[in-house]
């Protein structure tokens, strides 16, 4: 009978092992199918930019340039990121966002080698993406929290914990021979349990990051085993420096996000928890681990950047393989020139492509509202940024020098600071004045200069500021409604325009950039299309005619005065 039961339970065990193995294979197969089907396609998941931006906020390295919050907002960079992100891991996602916001002046040779391998070897990229899935959970966002320092500081009374532990051990031994010591032992046990659970708030700070750091190490090891392009000596050294971490962290029972607020209830077996509480294992281990990690932040960052760079290369290869047209840019140095052929904005469906060639001058763009000026400014700037970050542009051809990008496209009054729009513009321009005088080249992109003040002073100040920014090798691209600027800046800027036309009581825009200043003036005609009262239309036309005559007469007088002088 006993033998029969033994065989029965043995068979049950074998069946369970077989079923679990089969389920694991099925799960693996499904994951691989999802990976392959998603290649070249945008993500459909939601984006938590509060978490995605954490690594960027914790990264102190600004070796060349970091985009300002003004520029990130102007370009709707979060929406753009959601379009181009093809990363597999949360580490890669955070790394890619940081890369997008910190344009580089370095070549992308190493990244291009990886991108080429992933683009041509489906088996390799699938295997690497599968390895990266270990860091695809929400908790992996919190690894970056270990990079900003600020670990727990040991309290001054920390040494008393060892005294407490020694007394507990002594009382425990004595209680076997002398039961009278049980009472103080119970009191001390109770104190330690309170201290143990009082420390749970400290444990919670690392409930995400510690287990995920272990996953980061495991993923790094898996990738390093491939050798070749995947091997880096600094990663090997960092793994060796962190190897003791994985053993120590097991002393602390940690869970992910699902553990809150009932973490204590889900901490595994009660007996194990009781032992840790009585002997202060978790308290001592936590301070031990955090103290150890303070000297290993550089190693964590090395692993983070290693995995992030590989995932980023995968993301770029997937983006290039997608349905959206891309090109590899050519980056030059020193010349005040830029050539963009067929550039477009990836977030605009059926976006009209445009060409622009800059050589020695700035660019002034005129045109009415909704004609495409602001969109073109964003299109040019994001392609300049992507050229220096992921080495991929939305264009047929893009040739540009290494630039620092600055924008002023959608500025508003700052109600919280009590600053007017004009004050905001002046403060921003003041910072740009300093940038314009520095070595290197910058791209300054402006949509209407000093729109927060009166016409005469706006035009005068705008001319002076644009001339200053356009000095040296800087590139300045500005849109304006003030046609006077086209005349004042004629020797320093090439003038382009976007136009519209009215046909059968409908307004049409071709969104095509054309050389020269805008020739049509349809603002009052648009009022008419929206059925403004005839009296309003008539008065507006009359005043516009008078103002044009006055301006032309003033121009003739000024020209005559200049000729006489």
Residue 153's contacts (CB-CB under 8 Å, 6 or more residues apart) are: none
Sheet holding 362-366, edge to edge: 404-408, 442-447, 475-480, 362-366, 493-497, 514-515
Share of the chain above pLDDT 70, in %: 86
Q: Show the tokens assigned to 511.
A: 């969104």
Question: 350 near 505, Cβ under 8 Å?
Answer: no
- pTM score: 0.83
For residue 158, the 8-state DSSP code is T
Residue 133's contacts (CB-CB under 8 Å, 6 or more residues apart) are: 31, 35, 88, 89
pLDDT bucket at 143, cuts 50 / 70 / 90: very high
User: Cα separation of 144 and 48, whole Å?
Assistant: 15
Question: 130 near 32, Cβ under 8 Å?
Answer: yes
**pLDDT value of residue 561:** 53
Which residue has better confidence, 404 or 561? 404
- Which 3-state string (H, E, C) describes 35-70? HHHHCCCCCCCCCCHHHHCHHHHHCCCCCCCCCCHH
pLDDT bucket at 263, cuts 50 / 70 / 90: very low
Bond into 515 cis (ω within 30): no
Q: Show the tokens assigned to 392.
A: 């991929």
User: Cα separation of 107 and 130, whole Å?
Assistant: 28
**pLDDT value of residue 264:** 42
Residue 548's contacts (CB-CB under 8 Å, 6 or more residues apart) are: none
Interior CA angle at 43 toward 37 and 45, to 5°?
120
**pLDDT value of residue 216:** 95
**188-208 burial: b if 16+ Cβ within 10 Å, else e:** bbeebbeebeebeeebebbbb
Does the domain at residues 50-322 carry the CATH identifier 1.10.1420?
yes
What confidence tens digit (pLDDT) does each residue in 152-169 have?
Answer: 677 777 778 778 888 888
Interior CA angle at 228 toward 226 and 234, to 5°?
90
Q: Which of 144, 146, 65 lies closest to 104 in space, CA to CA? A: 65
Q: Show the tokens assigned to 374.
A: 């602001």
Residue 414 has pLDDT above 60, yes or no: no
What confidence tens digit (pLDDT) does each residue in 324-370 have?
Answer: 999 999 999 878 999 999 999 999 998 999 999 999 999 999 987 77
Q: Say which residue the tokens 């927060």 belong to.
A: 452
For the domain 330-531, what is the CATH code?
Answer: 3.40.50.300
Residue 277 has pLDDT above 80, yes or no: no
């Amino acid at each position: 009978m006993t033998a029969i039961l033994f065989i029965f339970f043995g068979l049950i065990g074998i069946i369970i092992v077989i079923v679990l193995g089969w389920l694991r294979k099925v799960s693996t197969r499904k994951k691989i199918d999802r990976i392959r089907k998603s290649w070249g396609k945008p993500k459909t998941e939601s984006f938590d930019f509060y978490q995605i931006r954490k690594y960027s906020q914790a990264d102190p390295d600004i070796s060349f340039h970091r985009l300002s919050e003004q520029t990130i907002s102007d370009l709707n960079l979060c929406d753009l990121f959601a379009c181009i992100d093809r990363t597999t891991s949360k580490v890669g996602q955070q790394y890619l966002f940081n890369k997008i916001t910190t344009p580089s002046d370095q070549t992308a040779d190493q990244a291009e080698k990886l991108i080429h391998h992933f683009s041509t070897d489906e088996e390799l990229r699938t295997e690497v993406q599968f390895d990266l899935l270990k860091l695809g959970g929400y908790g992996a966002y919190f690894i970056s929290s270990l990079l900003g320092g600020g670990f727990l500081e040991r309290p001054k009374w920390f040494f008393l914990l060892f005294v407490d532990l020694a007394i507990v051990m002594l009382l425990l031994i004595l209680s076997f021979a002398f039961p009278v010591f049980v009472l103080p032992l119970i009191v001390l046990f109770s104190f330690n349990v309170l201290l143990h659970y009082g420390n749970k708030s400290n444990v919670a700070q690392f409930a995400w990051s510690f287990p995920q750091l272990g996953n980061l190490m495991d993923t790094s090891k898996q990738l390093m085993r491939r050798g070749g392009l995947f091997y880096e000596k600094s990663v090997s050294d960092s793994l060796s420096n962190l190897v003791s971490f994985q053993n120590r962290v097991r002393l602390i029972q940690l869970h992910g996000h699902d553990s809150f607020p009932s973490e204590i209830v889900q901490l595994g077996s009660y007996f194990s928890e009781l032992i840790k509480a009585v002997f202060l294992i978790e308290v001592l281990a936590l301070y031990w681990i955090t103290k150890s990690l303070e000297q290993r932040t550089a190693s964590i960052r090395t692993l983070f950047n290693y995995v992030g760079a590989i995932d980023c290369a995968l993301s770029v290869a997937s983006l290039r393989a997608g349905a959206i047209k891309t090109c590899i840019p050519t980056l030059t140095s020193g010349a005040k020139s830029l050539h963009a052929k067929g550039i477009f904005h990836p977030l605009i469906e059926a976006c009209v492509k445009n060409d622009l060639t800059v050589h020695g001058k700035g660019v002034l763009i005129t045109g009415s509202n909704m004609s495409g000026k602001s969109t073109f400014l964003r299109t040019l700037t994001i392609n300049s940024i992507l050229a220096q970050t992921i080495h991929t542009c939305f264009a047929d051809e893009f040739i540009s020098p290494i630039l620092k990008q600055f924008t002023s496209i959608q500025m508003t009054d700052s109600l919280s600071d009590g600053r007017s729009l004009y004050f905001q513009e002046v403060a921003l321009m003041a910072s740009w004045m300093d940038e314009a005088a520095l070595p290197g080249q910058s791209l300054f992109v402006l949509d209407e200069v000093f729109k927060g003040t009166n016409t005469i002073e706006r035009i005068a100040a705008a001319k002076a500021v644009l001339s200053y920014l356009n000095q040296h090798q800087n590139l300045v691209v500005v849109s304006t409604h003030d046609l006077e600027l086209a005349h004042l800046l004629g020797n320093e800027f090439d003038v382009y325009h976007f136009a519209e036309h009215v046909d059968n009581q409908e307004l049409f825009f071709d969104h095509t950039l054309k050389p020269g200043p805008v020739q049509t003036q349809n603002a009052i005609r648009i009022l008419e299309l929206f059925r403004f009262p005839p009296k309003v239309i008539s008065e507006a036309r009359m005043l516009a005619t008078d103002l044009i005559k006055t301006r032309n007469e003033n121009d003739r007088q000024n020209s005559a005065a200049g000729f006489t002088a």
